[in-house]
């Protein structure tokens, strides 16, 4: 095993699963705000489409996926973002977004080139860094700061770093902070990436979970050298279905499709048909957002009453919370665990470099608004009792 891979800490969600299993053994009721896996049921019409599509004879799905699914995705993208995509040359269905994000660097990083740096913000979804390491690229985490609205700022990096960069990952609305990006930000990022011949990868998995203005897609501001990643996991309550897509620059998509035959295909055919029905409907998305907004507003009121510091989430179903001075997120999370409240500490979103050199911000933690509204109410009462 390569040393860089061997040295990776356990994937954060696996650690949370171990913690929850331990609490269950003790008979403690669990309020799981740790993993972004909502409890709201998958809409009935999606489940019905899945059941009706289960075939008598099961066969391998293709890399390109079903044509009618790609057509539905193109229609959704035009309807939602006003961007026209060719369903045959600019869209690839994927088994959720995680596998596509992970595999992207495997295709586009050449370990024999100097241009193999991959830039991503931190705190961040761990897969940007891990995909880079497995591909033999050079991970280049960049600290995201509250005063910058948690926006990744390429304009502050040395020219020499940008010249060595192959891929830049951005993620807005942002996991774990809930930050969003402006049209001017996307334009600046696209211009810089084109100047240095960098592929701009925009993880837009939370674009449909919002409470104020609608989030943008990077493809609204340019197509050349831009690729976006979308998923039905959060949008439609389909985390277990594993269905998403990659779209954008035709040349990049063509290369990615060609190489995916070596390691990946689209979701099973019956899941693709369920996904088709999901992308064709917007009403259930609005209904789900009302539920997430009710949970968000409940916690906004609670945090304001008890004086907890947090980043105001305009989108996503996450709160990025700061512990009191002198208290680490580990210490705070341990107290919450005594009441069965599971959260994800800030260290889970730090890069390996930050963890190893001690620069990881230890006072933040994330909660995901995934328990039911009633369980959220119960959790705030228990939380108040430890303050």
Per-domain residue ranges of the chain = 3-41+284-386, 46-281
Q: What is the pLDDT of residue 8?
A: 65
Pairwise CA distance, residues 86 & 11, whole Å = 36
Pairwise CA distance, residues 285 & 43, whole Å = 10
Percent of the chain topping pLDDT 70 = 96
pTM for this predicted structure: 0.94
The angle formed by the CA atoms of residues 130, 135 and 140, to the nearest 5 degrees, is 55
Pairwise CA distance, residues 361 & 355, whole Å = 9
Q: What is the pLDDT of residue 256?
A: 96
Pairwise CA distance, residues 147 & 120, whole Å = 18
Q: What is the pLDDT of residue 21?
A: 78
Q: Who's near 222: CB < 8 A, 6+ residues apart?
A: 186, 187, 190, 194
Judge: domain 3-41+284-386, CATH 1.20.120.140.
Answer: no
Pick 46-281's CATH classification: 3.40.462.40, 3.40.50.2300, 3.40.640.10, 3.50.50.60: 3.40.640.10
Q: 345-375: per-residue pLDDT in tens? A: 998 898 888 877 777 877 899 999 999 999 9
For β-strands 309-311 and 244-248, DSSP reports them as: unpaired
Q: What is the pLDDT of residue 267?
A: 87
Examine domains 3-41+284-386 and 46-281 and report if their fold is the same: no
Q: Who's near 241: CB < 8 A, 6+ residues apart?
A: 42, 50, 96, 232, 233, 267, 271, 274, 275
Task: Specify the DSSP class assigned to residue 234.
Answer: T
Q: What is the pLDDT of residue 56?
A: 92
Q: What is the pLDDT of residue 23?
A: 74
Q: What is the pLDDT of residue 117?
A: 98
Helix (H/G/I), strand (E/B), else coil: 147: helix
Token pair in block for residue 377: 């109410």
Q: What is the pLDDT of residue 219?
A: 98
Q: What is the pLDDT of residue 351?
A: 87
Pairwise CA distance, residues 93 & 214, whole Å = 24
- CB atoms under 10 Å from CB of 60, counted, come to 9
pLDDT lower than 70: segments of the chain: 1-3, 5-9, 11-13, 15-16
């Amino acid at each position: 095993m390569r040393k860089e891979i061997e040295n990776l800490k356990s994937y954060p969600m696996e650690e949370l699963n171990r913690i929850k299993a331990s609490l269950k053994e003790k008979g403690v009721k669990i309020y799981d705000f740790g993993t972004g896996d909502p409890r709201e049921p998958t809409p009935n019409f999606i489940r019905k489409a899945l059941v009706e599509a289960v075939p008598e004879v099961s066969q391998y799905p293709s890399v390109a996926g079903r044509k009618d699914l790609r057509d539905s995705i193109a229609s959704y993208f035009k309807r939602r973002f006003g961007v026209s995509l060719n369903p045959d040359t600019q869209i690839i269905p994927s088994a959720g977004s995680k596998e596509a994000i992970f595999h992207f660097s495997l295709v586009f990083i050449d370990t024999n080139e100097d241009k193999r740096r991959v830039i991503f913000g931190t705190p961040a979804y761990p897969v940007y860094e891990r995909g880079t390491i497995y591909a033999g690229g050079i991970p280049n985490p960049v600290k995201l700061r509250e005063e910058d609205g948690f926006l990744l700022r390429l304009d502050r990096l040395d020219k020499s770093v940008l010249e060595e960069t192959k891929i830049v990952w951005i993620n807005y609305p942002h996991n774990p902070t809930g930050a969003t990006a402006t049209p001017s930000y996307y334009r600046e990022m696209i211009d810089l990436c084109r100047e240095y011949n960098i592929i701009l990868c925009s993880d837009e998995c939370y674009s449909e979970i919002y409470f104020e203005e609608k989030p943008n897609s990077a493809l609204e501001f340019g197509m050349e050298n831009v690729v976006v990643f979308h998923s039905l996991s959060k949008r439609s309550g389909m985390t277990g279905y594993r269905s998403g897509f990659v779209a954008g620059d035709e040349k990049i998509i063509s290369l990615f499709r060609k190489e995916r035959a070596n390691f990946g295909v689209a979701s099973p055919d019956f899941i693709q048909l369920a996904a088709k029905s999901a992308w064709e409907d917007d009403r259930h998305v609005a209904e789900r957002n009302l539920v997430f907004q009710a949970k968000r507003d409940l916690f906004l009121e609670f945090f304001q009453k008890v004086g907890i510091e947090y980043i105001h989430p305009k989108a996503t179903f996450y709160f990025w919370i700061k512990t009191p001075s002198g208290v680490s997120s580990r210490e705070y999370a341990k107290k919450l665990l005594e009441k069965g409240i599971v959260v994800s500490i800030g260290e889970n979103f730090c890069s390996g470099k930050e963890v190893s050199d001690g620069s990881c911000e230890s006072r933040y933690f994330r909660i995901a608004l995934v328990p039911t509204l009633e369980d959220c109410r119960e959790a705030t009462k228990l939380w108040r009792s430890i303050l």
